[in-house]
Amino acid sequence: MSRNIPPLDLMWLLVETANAPTHVGALLLFERPARAPASFVADLVASYRAATPRTPFDQVPRLVGTRLPHWQQVEAIDLDYHVQHLVLPAGATERTLVRLVEDLHEPMLDRNRPLFRLVFIEGLPDGRFAMYLKLHHAIIDGMSAISRIVASLATSPKERTRPPMFAVDVAPPRTRHPRRLSAEVSAFNRSALRQTSALKDVSVGLVVKTLRRLVVKDTAGSQPFAAAHLATNEPVRTPRAFAMLALPLETMREIGKAFGGTLNDVAATIVDAGLQRYLDDLGRPARKPLVTMLPVSLRDEGDTSAKTLASAMFVALGAPDAEAEDRMRQVMAAVAAGKADLRAMSKDAALLYATTVLGIGTATEMSSVVGRVTGHLANFVLSNVPGSREDLYLHGARLAAIFPISALALNVGVNVTLTSHAGTMFFGFVGNGIALPDFDRLARHTGDAFAALGAAVQRPAQRRRAKPGTTAAAAAKPSRKRAAAIGRGAPG
């Protein structure tokens, strides 16, 4: 069985290089069950290796030949290769784990095998163990990946029957009834008309946006290729840098409400401030607002299909020297304008927009000189993938944390992805390890920015310039649960 590769998924395969692989991943930390045998993790590995991978984890890409690029099902899968088991040395700390994850996340996935790997890691402090997942972006996006991870975990510590995420059936295939030839032709014509209309809308929109930016300096809304060249836009090379941050989810929501914004606005504000401070540390400060690429899911509720269904907006955030409350308001306005641009597109146009922008970005970033002259796609990527609200368990082991680990591409050397789980927001920071040293400082600066924004909420309303209509209840003092940052060079 085979199926054609959709354009956006194909783009992730075409833009991939050894220095900029386009796989995504996650690091899951588990608490070993009480009275678990010494062989607990080894037993998990054995059970995973005995599972049967489901689509798309039983297919490989075929890009050349006599037919269109397609996914081809493989006859045999070596799960000893795809499911591995590592043990950290005695005395290992969370820093040791971070260094290992950096090494695991560097190399490309082998395209002659299904595009996933999973590594169980023992030897963490306090008897915990970890699971590192590595999945190609061409077979899965963040929303689909999280849904499969959640489906592979139980809501009760007593349940032991869930299959691995690469073997779960998240949605039964819909029965396809044969259609008459006339119906097939009609459906093809409708699709062609939608795609033609979408291409026109995207082409005109990109031209208008570019002219407005160049002629009248209008940077409002979604503006790809408007990012100045910064340390985050040096050519992406191996190695990878990785850092982690955990923040209290409810406090983030309270802060967002106090300003009349959202949890995502809070995340964008504190990462923006953290990255500005990190660039200052490097002696290469930004002179104007950072531009972020914000992926936007286009999935309908319950859609878990094995393909990328997302678009993106590109927005300039806060002024380099903005104080916490001013930065929050600037970010809220910028994101709202970007959302308005995206909402004005049809779903077909939004999907084509992402594919077109990535294609143009590939062409312009082939030369670092071109990127410096025309402007980069963005300075960093920021995305939020909603997770589970309740505790989850793997054969009785409680999931304590889940840190997303995303990809770097097109000379955008920082990717920050966050996901929520059981009352905590987990941030995964991925960076270009050559151009961005001491990368854990970005996580720490982001945590400091979160504290500063929380302090701004606690000020009297007239001093923090609250958005008109903000209620006293919304401005209530948030909880003071301590943030935790972990990364290369951070305390273990």
Q: What is the 3-state secondary structure (H, E, C) of 330-384?
A: HHHHHHHHHHHHHHCCCHHHHHHHHHHHHHHHHHHHCCHHHHHHHCECCCEEEEE
Domain region containing 293:
205-386+403-487
Provide the pLDDT for residue 222.
Answer: 72
49 plus 139 within the same structural domain: yes
219 plus 135 within the same structural domain: no
Quick check: is 190 in a domain? no
CATH (domain of 416): 3.30.559.30
353 plus 223 within the same structural domain: yes
Parallel, antiparallel or unpaired: strands 291-297 and 380-388:
parallel
Of 151, 168, 185, the position where a domain reaches its end is 151
Q: Are 54 and 47 in contact (CB under 8 A)?
A: no
**From first to last of its 492 residues, what are the pLDDT tens digits of the chain?**
678 998 878 988 998 999 999 999 999 999 999 999 999 999 999 999 999 999 999 999 999 877 889 999 999 999 999 999 999 999 999 999 999 999 999 999 999 999 999 999 999 988 899 999 999 999 988 888 999 999 999 999 999 889 999 999 865 444 444 444 444 444 433 443 344 443 444 444 444 444 444 444 545 667 888 899 999 999 998 899 999 999 999 999 999 999 999 999 999 999 999 999 999 999 999 999 999 998 876 555 555 555 555 567 899 999 999 999 999 999 999 999 988 877 777 666 656 766 677 666 666 655 555 455 568 889 999 999 989 999 999 999 999 999 999 999 888 999 999 999 999 999 999 999 999 999 999 999 999 999 999 999 987 554 544 444 333 333 334 443 445 555 443 333
Q: Are 391 and 399 in contact (CB under 8 A)?
A: yes
Quick check: is 391 in a domain? no
288 plus 433 within the same structural domain: yes
Structure token pair of residue 173: 């295939």
Provide the pLDDT for residue 7.
Answer: 82
Provide the pLDDT for residue 147.
Answer: 92
Domain count, the chain: 2
Residues in Cβ contact with 256 at an 8 Å cutoff, skipping those fewer than 6 apart: 262, 263, 264, 265, 266
255 plus 351 within the same structural domain: yes
DSSP state of 227: B
CATH (domain of 25): 3.30.559.10
Provide the pLDDT for residue 359.
Answer: 65
289 plus 382 within the same structural domain: yes
Round to the nearest angstrom and report the end-to-end CA distance of the chain. Answer: 48
Q: Are 475 and 439 in contact (CB under 8 A)?
A: no
Cα 311 from Cα 383, distance rounded (Å): 11
Phi-psi region of 357 (alpha: psi -120 to 50; beta: other; left: phi over 0): alpha
Cα 16 from Cα 410, distance rounded (Å): 9
Q: Are 324 and 318 in contact (CB under 8 A)?
A: no
141 plus 242 within the same structural domain: no
Quick check: helix, strand or coil at residue 30? Answer: strand
316 plus 464 within the same structural domain: yes
Quick check: is 11 in a domain? yes
Quick check: is 38 in a domain? yes
362 plus 262 within the same structural domain: yes
344 plus 436 within the same structural domain: yes
32 plus 113 within the same structural domain: yes
Quick check: is 157 in a domain? no
448 plus 364 within the same structural domain: yes
Quick check: is 261 in a domain? yes
| Neighbour tally for 231: CB within 10 Å | 21
Quick check: is 479 in a domain? yes
Q: Of 52, 50, 70, 74, which Cα lies nearest the Cα of 61?
A: 70
Quick check: is 436 in a domain? yes
